[in-house]
Amino acid sequence: MAEHFGEFLKALDAGVSSPAGRGRKEEGGPTVWRRNYAVGETIAEDEENKQAFLLITSGWVASGKMLTNGSRIVLDFLLPGDVVGIGATEWAREVITALSPVSTMEVPGAPLETLLKAPQTVSRALIRNVARHNARIAEHMVSIGRRGAVERTAHLLLELACRLEIKPDNGRVRFQCPLTQADLADALGLTAVHVNRVLKELRENGLASFRNGIVEIRDVDRLTELVDFDASYLTLRTVK
């Protein structure tokens, strides 16, 4: 996380807005806006015409789709340092929602045009971050389509620990997590009741727990082996 967060901020240092949210542009750099969002606030809706690249500088965000019956599917959770393109196509629009207090840096404009017109350092950082986002979505689709409820839940918890760069301590990792069971359910293709049962099973088997906003993976190696977790999809290959 720290590597690509720094990569993107360095690429954007040519133009950064004031805390009040007014964007500015310096020679050679894109216009950048700083914005803050409260818990539960919608950052982008699928029916609005907002177009931008969005960099999460603090907080947790859900990226997903709303169905006509009012239900939601979460495609990805965005953490500090992650970037997502908003409004890149007419139909495949994502709903972006703050799951905690969130701060962002936004590069306004059509994402594809931004990539083509931006300086190489900026466009390269954008492409790398969007590639990570797409890789996570692909892995989540594998979970929903082919993994059982316990496996997909454990896989997501391990992914979050890796993305937060939490190092195991005596085989355990522990981190704060603002997600609700409803958030997990929408990401895992389960009901909230089913998620509750799965978390209870993981806890009773001494593998992991999620209580009071704290995730604790009690045996990282055992859980990794159980769900065949391979974190390579979270790291981009370097072309030599």
| pLDDT tens per residue, range 75-88 | 999 999 888 877 65
pLDDT band, very low/low/confident/very high, at 16 (cuts 50, 70, 90)? very low
Banded model confidence at residue 29, pLDDT cuts 50, 70, 90 = low
Q: Domain ranges in the chain?
A: 2-143, 148-234
| More confidently predicted of 129 and 200 | 200
Q: Which of 58-72, 184-198, 225-239 has the lowest mean pLDDT?
A: 225-239
* Topology match between the domains 2-143 and 148-234: yes
Task: With cut-offs at 50, 70 and 90, classify the pLDDT of residue 237.
Answer: low
pLDDT at 157: 98
Q: Which fold has domain 2-143?
A: Jelly Rolls (2.60.120)
Q: Which residue has the higher pLDDT, 76 or 240?
A: 76
- Residues 132-163 pLDDT 10s: 888 999 999 999 999 999 999 999 999 999 99
CATH number for 148-234 (one of 3.30.70.141, 3.40.640.10, 2.60.120.10, 2.40.50.140): it is 2.60.120.10
Q: What is the pLDDT of residue 20?
A: 41
- The DSSP string of 84-135 is EEESSSSS-PPEEEESSSEEEEEEES-HHHHHHHS-HHHHHHHHHHHHHHHH
In this structure, of 117-126, 188-197, 220-229, the range with the lowest mean pLDDT score is: 117-126
What is the Cα–Cα distance from 54 to 108, expressed in whole angstroms? 8
- Report the chain's terminal Cα–Cα distance, integer Å: 22
Say what the pLDDT of residue 190 is: 97
Here the contacts of 207-213 (C-beta below 8 Å, separation 24 or greater) are: 207/154, 208/154, 208/157, 210/157, 210/177, 213/176, 213/177, 213/178
Task: Work out the mean pLDDT of the chain and round it to a whole number.
Answer: 84
**Angle ∠(235,233,149) on CA atoms, nearest 5:** 140
Higher pLDDT pick, 89 / 181: 181
Here the tokens at position 106 are 């936004």
Q: What is the pLDDT of residues 100-128, one digit of tens each?
A: 999 998 878 777 776 777 777 777 877 88
Q: Residue 58's pLDDT band (boundaries 50, 70, 90)? A: very high
